[in-house]
Chains A and B, each alone.
Chain A
Amino acid sequence: METIALSADARPRLSPHFMFRWEASQDAYILLYPEGLIKLNLSAGEILKRCDGERTVAAIVADLQAAFPGHGEEIAASVRAFVDLACDKGWLRT
């Protein structure tokens, strides 16, 4: 299946039935869903935290660029890549 890139004004949110939270024992953000669990790396966690169905992809990029200054282009590219992947995997919906 082809991954379709999301537009910058899409508003991704967590799919229903997915649980996203900080897990101290893993020292990481995790995703829990029927019969599965995913441990997210630091940047994936920071991106997913902002996918609330309110913010657009562009707003998420801007927000992260403000929070982590000096990595502008890198952040823009990795947000787009992660959001596309997460939509493709069904973790996120738009």
Chain B
Amino acid sequence: MPKETGGLSLDGQGKPLWLSLELTYRCPLKCSWCNNPLDFEDYAAKELSTEEWKKVLRESRELGALQLGFTGGEPLQRPDLEELVAYADSLGFYTNLITSGIGLGEERLIALKNAGLKQIQLSLQATRADVTDALVGARAHARKLEAGRLIKAHGFPMVLNMPVFRQNIGMTGEMIEWAAGLGIEYLEFANIQYYNWALMNRDELMPTLEQVRDAEKVVQQWRDRLGKKMTIYFVIPDYYEGRPKACMNGWGAIHLTIAPDGVAMPCQEARVIPGLEFESVRDRPLAWIWHESPLFRKYRGLDWLPEPCGSCAEKEKDFGGCRCQAFLLTGDAGNTDPACSRSPRHQVVQDAVDAVARPLRFRKPLVRRAAGAMSTAFLET
């Protein structure tokens, strides 16, 4: 999830400044913390065509979008990625590729560079091959390292993204050392957020508060050592914050995500919320969806906020937190995010935190993202 950016006037004046295109949910990896929908495989047959994606790019640029992330799934699974990057670049977008690195050979990297790609965010889960490969369910480590080396060799700025959970949180220091050696400019420790596959595996993935604090200390030591050579982000999980995150800087404020089938969403998780009317760019103009649709208006602004948010002094800071998390943990997306200690339902978050810290508990194997696990396509006629 994009973080707040220093210096940016976060008031987008009603424009979707940040556009995320989920080109596909197809991916060669099986990460247990994937934020794609559980029925991800049902989208493969419904993916937008190249021309349909180009229409999305035109319409969102007209709405004032500037930053663009090509994501997925694994966006490299789309053979038209280079064509879409070139088109987006010609429209004036700043183009970012968010990738696992699998499929990023030198030939494609050069083609992407020629297409005008500006930046690559590469994910890496561990500094040891056996750990990475076990976590992502594929022999990926060596290929990821090679992708990282190539990205730097071809002069791209790079964000290295390490999704953080209990299994790898002890490796933060080694990861920084490796990234510094490669000359990576930005390193992001993304404590995973608990939606979809990650929520299913939460008890096994969530680190203890002590582990989070230790990792934070390591990060701070390295920041002092490296100075301005590398920017290191470390965002602590909202379960431990006591205050909710300013999710997406508010619903329908500056973020717009398009799913593989063309459905427009305020964030990548919003489809977990039942009862909302999702609209596809195949059926409606994007300007109408963004400005007028009931979906984007539902939780936009501050007027809809429930108590205790409505009378809270911090409402303009966090907008009541995350709607998806409110739904997943309390059953109602219109509730205060239970990550907030002022939420009447904060106990559900507290219980999850307590469960993780319990010294003796039953351990379960991680459920891997896999085809066939959650498909509901057989129900459709």
Contact = CB atoms under 8 A, between A and B. Distances in A.
B96 A34 contact: yes
Contact of A34 (B66, B119, B228): B119
With a 10 A CB-CB cut-off, give which of B7, B17, B157, B185 has the most chain A CB atoms.
B7
A30 interface: yes
Contacts of B9: 38-39
Interface string B114-157: 00001101000000000000000000000000000000000001
Interface stretch (A17-25, A53-61, A63-71, A75-83): A17-25
B8 A38 contact: yes
Given A17-B185, A19-B94, A35 B119 contact: yes
Interface residues of A, number: 19
A36 B157 contact: no
Contacts of B66: 23, 30, 32, 37
A37 B8 contact: yes
B6 interface: yes
Interface string B173-214: 000000000000110000000000000000000000000000
Contacts of A32: 66-67, 94, 118
B15 A35 contact: no
Nearest to A86: B7
A3 to B, nearest CB: 12
A90 B118 CA distance: 17
B171 to A, nearest CB: 23
Most buried by A among B66, B121, B186: B66
B8 A35 contact: no
A32 to B, nearest CB: 4
A21 B118 CA distance: 15
A17 B96 CA distance: 12
A16 B158 CA distance: 12
A34 B159 CA distance: 8
Given A19-B94, A19-B118, A90-B228, A34 B185 contact: yes
Given A17-B157, A19-B94, A35 B121 contact: yes
B275 interface: no
Contacts of A25: 15, 64
B381 interface: no
A1 B231 CA distance: 14
Contact of A36 (B5, B64, B158): B5
B68 to A, nearest CB: 10
B6 A35 contact: no
Nearest to B11: A39
A19 B9 CA distance: 17
Given A32-B66, A34-B96, A37-B17, 17 more contacts: A17-B118, A17-B119, A19-B94, A21-B92, A26-B13, A32-B94, A33-B119, A34-B119, A34-B158, A34-B185, A34-B186, A35-B67, A35-B121, A37-B66, A37-B67, A37-B94, A89-B7
12 contacts: A1-B227, A17-B185, A19-B94, A21-B92, A33-B157, A34-B96, A34-B119, A35-B119, A35-B159, A37-B17, A37-B67, A38-B9
Interface of A: 1, 16-17, 19, 21, 23, 25-26, 30, 32-39, 89-90
Nearest 5 pairs of A and B residues by beta carbon = A17-B157, A32-B94, A36-B5, A25-B64, A34-B119
